[in-house]
């Protein structure tokens, strides 16, 4: 049973912005965009981002320091994330592939580590950029 999170005012403003964006957004781009809505300081943005990541509404693309809305309705917690990143046009999208996620969620080695979370970023060329 999933917990429904009622977003607070700032969280909602920031989530809506990211959710509508065609690309991942960076924190200060978000800040710039929400200043007219009364969010003035970086910390207000980062606090909302932290919470949104924690509850799985958005994900951070670590290699880009950018945030993207979760595109996987079943993904309520950011504990198993995979992204594809075009190194030419920077188009980024979340990969929803159940074989991949099963493989990685079940991965274990002989290190004695208990893995509870992963983040995977694939890089390459998208269809468009390949054919240029």
Partner DNA sequence: TAACAGTATGTAATAATATAACATTTATAA
Partner DNA sequence: TTATAAATGTTATATTATTACATACTGTTA
Q: How far is the CB of 118 from DNA (least distance, A)?
A: 19
Write out the residues near a copy of itself by the rule CB under 8 A: 62-63, 84, 86-87, 93, 95, 97, 100, 103-104, 107, 109, 111-127, 130
* CA separation, residue 4 to residues 80, 94, 115, 123 (Å): 19, 22, 26, 33
Whichever of 25 and 101 has its CB closer to DNA, that residue is: 25
| CB neighbours of residue 121 within 10 Å | 15
Look at residue 28 and give its three-state secondary structure. helix
Which of a copy of itself, DNA, none does residue 88 bind (CB under 5 to 8 Å by kind)?
Answer: none
Residue 25 CA to residue 16 CA, distance in Å, equals: 12
- Could you say which of a copy of itself, DNA, none residue 32 binds, taking C-beta under 5 to 8 angstroms by partner kind? none
C-alpha R_g of the chain: 16
Which residues are CB-contacts of 101 (< 8 A; sequence separation ≥ 6)? 80, 82
Binding site for DNA (CB under 7 A): 6, 8-11, 26-29, 38-44, 46-48, 50-51, 65
- What does 39 interact with, of DNA, a copy of itself, none (CB < 5 to 8 A by kind)? DNA
């Amino acid at each position: 049973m999933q917990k429904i999170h009622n977003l607070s005012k700032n969280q909602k403003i920031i989530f809506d912005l990211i959710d509508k964006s065609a690309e991942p957004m960076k924190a200060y781009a978000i800040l710039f965009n929400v200043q007219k809505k009364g969010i003035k300081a970086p910390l207000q943005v980062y606090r909302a981002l932290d919470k949104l990541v924690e509850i799985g509404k958005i994900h951070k693309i670590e290699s880009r320091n950018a945030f993207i809305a979760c595109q996987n309705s079943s993904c309520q917690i950011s504990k198993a994330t995979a992204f594809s990143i075009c190194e030419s046009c920077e188009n980024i999208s979340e990969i929803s592939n159940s074989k991949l996620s099963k493989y990685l969620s079940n991965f274990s080695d002989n290190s004695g580590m208990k893995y509870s979370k992963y983040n995977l970023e694939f890089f390459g060329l998208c269809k468009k950029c390949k054919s240029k």
